[in-house]
A and B are shown apart, each in its own frame.
Chain A
Amino acid sequence: MEMRLEFDIHNTSLEELIQYCEDLYHDLELSYVKKWKEKKGAKAIGFMPVCVPRELIHAAGMLPVGIMGGIDGMEVVRGNAYFQSYICQIPRSTLELALTGKLDCLDGMIFPSICDVVRNMSGMWKLMFPQKYVKYLDLPQNREKQGREFYSGQLECLKKDFEEMAGSNITDDTLRSAIQLYNENRSVIDELYHVRSQYPSKVPSYHLYLLMRASNILEVREHTKLIEKYLSLVMANRDTEVKDKIRVVLTGLFCEQPPPILIKALENSGCYIIEDDWVLGSRYYEKPTDERKPLEGLVESTMNYSVSTATRYEGEKLKGGYLIERIKKLRADGVIFCAPSFCDPALLERPMLQKALLKEKIPFTSCQYSENASQMQTIREQTGTFSDSVRLWERA
């Protein structure tokens, strides 16, 4: 598949725009990245979930590329030879992509601290792809001044590394400009999420998911324009029909991504997804990053304004507060805990969140998936029953 680098965004229809996102999603060869590199004469840096400071990569004139494993239907053979049966799917498919040359266009990979599997992958990558730049990014779990200083030092190191790779300096101005672009991007993403929660029938979650996945690949300005165009197209649609579905928050999908058929199955089983945590790195900061002292701004965003997720330690805060706040704000009817199999952070977080929901009498159900799952019948039946029970009993 040959991806278009320039997409005629002004003259596109909604169908064409979604088709473009689907093409990007299926483009395991990363042909957009290859063409971008060719055109710009610049480098590209891959990163694993959940979040890395993409602003720094952009400021160095390089393209940040989110790598979130494979897609449904992708055959994993060589990747399986490196991971035991009880390890989740994302490291296998990611390694498969690399071993089959599909990630050759990436000049480096960053592995942020999510869990022990991804942590150890950083070392495996160093051994298996010694010609590539590889970095493990330890996000500070101590949010006091010690953590701030440590993380600041890590960003300084990254900055230096990127400068060497790109062959140019990252000045305060270039970093400031990158921060502004990502602030704008997060702002349109917020708008997209807001519109979906208001008009869930206008913004199917399948569309939203594809748009979010596109943020992994597209240059940030292109992605911002893409969402703006999408919003203008859906808002032009006067159809405001709302079906009798329940409004659910989906949680646990911050690392290994769900197959699109899972999202469709949930929405076809009587649920409007009005909040989720997939592709979380693209909406990781709750507030715009302060660009006045740019590097400090990035530290501040990570330390104080990043979203609540299972991989982050949150001090004395009781679990579930953030989730309940979102549920109330978005007028959700319930929660679907949807975690990848063998995902320690999500699965260990789940009982704590469930207990918090029980106290608030908020209904929930739970299921597990893997990125290559192809059968959704059981999940569809389960969430369908959940939807029915909420509509029949909770709302009454």
Chain B
Amino acid sequence: MTGQREKKDDSMRLQRTMLENYYEKLSRAKESGKKVVYTFVPGNLNELLTAFDVLAVHPEVNALQLGMRKKSDEYIIESENDGHSEDVCAYVKCHLGMMNKGGIGPTGTKIPPPDLLLLSYTGCATYLKWFELLRERYHCPIVMLHVPYVSENTIQASQIKYVADQIRDVVVPALEKLTGKKLDKEKLGKHLDTSARTESHLMDVWESAKHQPSPIDAFFGGVYYVGPIFGAFGGLSECEQYYLKLKEEVQERVQKTLGPMTPEGELKDQKWRVVIEGTPPWTHFREFWKMFYDEGAVVVSSSYTRVGGYYDEGFRHDSRKPFESMAEYCLSCYTNRSVSSRIDILERFIKEYKADGFLVNSTKSCNSFSSGQMLILKELERRTGKPGCFIESDLVDPRYFNTANIANRLYSYFQILERREGKRTR
């Protein structure tokens, strides 16, 4: 089914170097006099933050990376011992537990405490409590960027104005105060232009999955592809370089009719094309991935890779209207959209990417994603006629990943596909 063992692409190596350097910079932030701003991934304002030359920390990225490295459970238990309920978001508990135990991040370097908490309240109500908890701990300034929920199917002008006004009149002054310098509008404009081009490169990568066979896995590979742009690199030229390299590699795979790389080599025989709704179970990411490639399933599109930014309908950052464009970006994130709008997006993915079916991975920690997913499943099956599969796990709490149950469910699902679609040659 798969070819040679995993071979690292240049883009992967490049991303790894970018991340290592970044964590290194973070660990030396205090010595180098760099200010550290904590903020969240969805709809983040990295173009603006980097215009002020501050370093961003995304707590949920730290949590997910700790989950991937099997370190999250001890931190979650640390937080539960500190008074947190078993019922609440494991990202929060993992991150707070890590900070309680010395703040050593996923790569083994120290994550510095925040100089400012930029509470970008986008698409997740838990963010509010998370940063309140951090503020109580670090007693540092906090600035709220309230991004209203797009409950109708389109973003309202009043919503853009509300967010843009806050960025201009609340966030920028807070960053100016923190850094002691005025906003360099030219630099911001340059970052926004870079982001706009980068977003188009990423879209080219996503759309490559329309090819058959697909040259990418838009979920298991996709979560790596979104790392730089959704993280601390959005707007920087090194970010664009990464996507140019990635695009080049993907185009080469298209030309050679190659499938995506998996941990066990190239996925050569693509039996099933599926769309995934929901977040990855980070603690068992590779096990979960294997359940797909062992069955010849490739993910051709996913909603999780639209959490940081949604470019599929043409949105691009725009230096001609910097604040409005950043506002629109914040508002348009996948988890900030109505259930109906999410169904429309997934329906389009299933149809345009010619998927055989779709899978919903519902995670205990993320009500923003999970609440409504059972209706999403039902509605998508009705609209597309494609079978859906529903599984439950968690983001970083390994106690909620039941390997046997999930494997059985997936195996049964692929059997259903087999019966419906007829056996294909692999």
Q: Give chain A's interface residues, CB within 8 Å of chain B.
A: 81-87, 91, 113-117, 119-124, 126-128, 135-136, 138, 140-142, 144, 146-147, 149-150, 153, 310-311, 313, 315-316, 318-319, 339, 341-345, 347-352, 354-355, 368
Pick from A85, A127, A316, A348: contact of B129, CB under 8 Å: A348
Asked if residues A113 and B128 are in contact (CB atoms below 8 Å), the reply is: no
> 8 Å CB contacts to A: which residues of B124-183?
124-126, 128-130, 132-133, 136, 141-142, 144-146, 148-149, 151, 158-159, 161-162, 165-166, 169-170
Measured CB to CB, the closest approach of chain B to A111, in angstroms, equals 8
Q: Chain B: which residue is nearest A340 at the CB level?
A: B87
> Tally of A-B residue pairs with Cβ under 8 A?
159
Which residues of B lie under 8 Å from residue A368 when comparing CB positions? 85, 87
Contacts of B149 in A (CB 8 A): 113, 119, 136, 138
CB atoms of A349 and B129 under 8 A apart: yes
Residues of A within 8 A of B161 (CB): 150
A149: chain B residues at CB < 8 Å are: 162, 165
Partner pick for B84 among A86, A310, A351, CB 8 A cutoff: A351
B326 at the interface (CB under 8 A from A): no
Q: Is the CB of B374 within 8 A of A83?
A: yes
From B194-202, B216-224, B295-303, B362-370, the one touching the partner chain is B362-370
Closest CB pairs A-B (n = 9): A123-B339, A348-B129, A136-B151, A351-B83, A141-B146, A123-B338, A120-B371, A120-B372, A150-B162
Determine whether B416 belongs to the interface, using a CB cutoff of 8 Å to chain A.
no
Are the C-beta atoms of A141 and B88 separated by less than 8 Å? no
Q: Which of A126, A153, A341 contacts B158 (CB 8 A)?
A: A153
Q: Tell me the bound Cα distance from A124 to B374 in angstroms.
A: 10
Contacts of A153 on B, CB cut-off 8 Å? Answer: 158
Shortest B348–chain A CB gap in Å is: 17
Most buried by B among A85, A311, A342: A342
Are B144 and A142 in touch, CB under 8 angstroms? yes
Asked if B312 is an interface residue, CB under 8 A from chain A, the answer is no
**In the assembled complex, B92 has its CB within 8 A of some CB on chain A:** yes
30 A-B pairs within 8 Å (CB atoms) are namely A82-B375, A83-B374, A84-B370, A84-B373, A86-B87, A87-B370, A116-B126, A119-B151, A119-B371, A124-B372, A126-B338, A127-B375, A141-B144, A144-B169, A150-B162, A310-B129, A313-B119, A315-B142, A316-B142, A319-B136, A344-B87, A344-B125, A347-B88, A348-B92, A349-B129, A350-B85, A351-B82, A351-B84, A352-B132, A352-B133
Closest A residue, CB atoms, query B151: A136
With a CB–CB cut-off of 8 A, which chain A residues contact B111? Answer: none
Considering the chains assembled together, what is the distance between the CA atoms of A310 and B130 in angstroms? 12
